[in-house]
Amino acid sequence: MTDDPSEPENTKLTTTKRKWAAEGRFLTGRISRPETDRLPPGQHLVKNWPVLDLGQQPQISEMQWRLDVRGEVDDAVTLNWQQFLALPQAKTMSDIHCVTTWSRYDNTWQGVMVRDLLDLVHPRPEADAVMLTSFDGYTTNLLLSDFAAEDAILATHWEGQPITREHGGPMRLVLPHLYLWKSAKWLTRIEFTRQDRPGFWEKNGYHMRGDPWSEQRYSED
């Protein structure tokens, strides 16, 4: 199932979001910075936590679960659930910002810091980017410099409880400084690459980087 994840199907949401990208929906033209502006431009706060995905929410048992870390690293590894939980455990608190304009403050997370995973696999100097692949076939790309952010966490818990299946459990990435589409749910493969190549939404009109404070919602062309 995870060896050759097929491209997710066209869905109503995909079509709508492609249309938004084409129209430049939600762009305010303002630029703000996290130090001065906690809430990025064009965002509003929510108290609940909306669910957004391509409509397939895979159910992965602890037996089936694998995290495959490969590509431009010295020590490629495939971890099972027990091995993943044996990595150093950490807790963080962060805000999340979705490109569909909602933000949610002060989420508490528990899991493995991305930096601890990097210490384990030793990315090579040639590694510039990562491609993330999930159990539902979703892909998204990141520059290694973004993936290696201090607060990036491979999260298993939210607010002290295991992350639910709809929010990407048993494990998802949380990368607070970029729009939430970069935070792959049901993550199963991290491939280190020399070149930054577009993932699913990035091929569908969304920005390669996705910085909320400079409203990098859509690709330039």
Ligand X SMILES: Nc1nc2c(c(=O)[nH]1)N[C@H]1C(S)=C(S)[C@@H](COP(=O)(O)O)O[C@H]1N2
Binding site for ligand X (CB under 6 A): 49-54, 98, 134, 136, 138, 167-168, 180-181, 183-186
- Residue with structure tokens 């920005």? 207
CA distance 8 to 26: 25
Positive or negative, the Cα torsion across 144, 148, 151, 157? positive
Asked whether 96 and 174 are in contact (CB, 8 A), the reply is yes
Q: C-beta of 180: minimal distance to ligand X in Å?
A: 4
For residue 177, the partner it binds in ligand X, Mo ion, none, with Cβ less than 5 to 8 A by kind, is none
Q: Does 138 bind Mo ion (CB under 5 A)?
A: no
Q: C-beta of 145: minimal distance to Mo ion in Å?
A: 22
Q: C-beta of 206: minimal distance to Mo ion in Å?
A: 9
For residue 192, the partner it binds in Mo ion, ligand X, none, with Cβ less than 5 to 8 A by kind, is none
Using the minimum distance from each CB to ligand X, give the nearer residue, 54 or 190.
Answer: 54
Q: Does 181 bind Mo ion (CB under 5 A)?
A: yes
CA 147 to chain centre: 9
Element (H, E) at 116: helix 114-121
Q: Does 52 bind Mo ion (CB under 5 A)?
A: yes
CA distance 111 to 173: 9
Residues 190-219 that bind Mo ion (CB under 5 A): none
Residues 6+ apart with CB under 8 A from 82: none
For residue 196, the partner it binds in Mo ion, ligand X, none, with Cβ less than 5 to 8 A by kind, is none
* Residues lying near Mo ion in the complex (CB under 5 A): 52, 181
